[in-house]
Amino acid sequence: MDQQTAQWIAMLEAEFDEPNGFIWKVRYGGDFTTEDGERLIRKLSEIRPPKDQPLERRLVSIVWFLPLLLMWQKERVAEGGGDSEQLQRVTERVTNLVIEILGVP
């Protein structure tokens, strides 16, 4: 694995870490903030894999799972008094970035 890919993986994995990772906070506490969502979007926007090489399996597994995981948290965020509509907007933006990174079948 090249250094750039390892950095992308590490920065995305940090979003799953307790207590400050965006994904961790949304998934386990229903705690959504737009600022945290924007941080994830900025990180995804930095990922520009080369078109002529296969993607690292770990990078793909993290990236493709993000929109699904966020969609599954909409009810949890709403139950916690969070802005589930804003979460939906962040999820849509994340989905669009995933399509840019991984492509479509």
pTM (predicted TM-score): 0.94
Q: What is the C-alpha separation between 6 and 87, in angstroms, rounded?
A: 28
Q: Where are the domains of the chain?
A: 3-102
Q: With contact defined as beta carbons under 8 Å apart, do 24 and 17 qualify?
A: yes
3-state secondary structure of 30: coil
- The per-residue pLDDT string of the chain (105 residues; one tens digit each, 9 = 90 and over) reads 899 999 999 999 999 999 999 999 999 989 999 999 999 999 999 999 988 889 999 999 999 999 999 999 999 999 989 999 999 999 999 999 999 999 998
